[in-house]
Amino acid sequence: MLQLLIRNTVTDPAKWKEVYDAHSEDRSNAGLGQLQIWNDVSDANTIWGLYSVSDQSRAQEHLDDAKTKMVDDRAGVQSSEYHFLKTA
């Protein structure tokens, strides 16, 4: 099973969540299924997300898409890091 782990550093976690929730259809259309969202206990402005991935190329296109970058800007994302992972 392919999964995607994302770390976002945000300016306002509540604002990020509001914008994030409004774009669930975009993630679904990119073949991403939300498995878990975590707030980092040691840094409230760090959000972690784990997703199932049905199609890596579609998911990558979504991550690289200008619309996704605009959504991230509106959500106050300061930095992101992501990794595609598979079960060992």
- At 1-12, the pLDDT tens digits run 899 999 999 999
Report pLDDT for 1: 86
Domains of the chain, by residue range, sit at: 2-86
Give per-residue pLDDT as tens, 44-88: 999 999 999 999 999 999 999 988 999 999 999 999 999 999 999
Cβ-proximal residues to 63 (8 Å cutoff; 6+ apart), any chain:
82
| Sequence-distant (≥ 6) Cβ neighbours of residue 34 within 8 angstroms | 24, 27, 49, 50, 51
31: how many CB neighbours lie within 10 A of its CB? 19
Residue 26 has pLDDT above 90, yes or no: yes
Pick the CATH number of 2-86 from 1.10.645.10, 3.30.56.10, 1.10.3720.10, 3.30.70.100: 3.30.70.100
What per-residue confidence (pLDDT) applies to 57?
96
- For 28, phi then psi, to 5°, come to -65, -45
pLDDT of residue 20: 94
Q: What is the CA radius of gyration of the chain?
A: 12
pLDDT for 55 equals: 96
**Separation between Cα atoms, residue 56 and residue 29, nearest integer Å:** 12
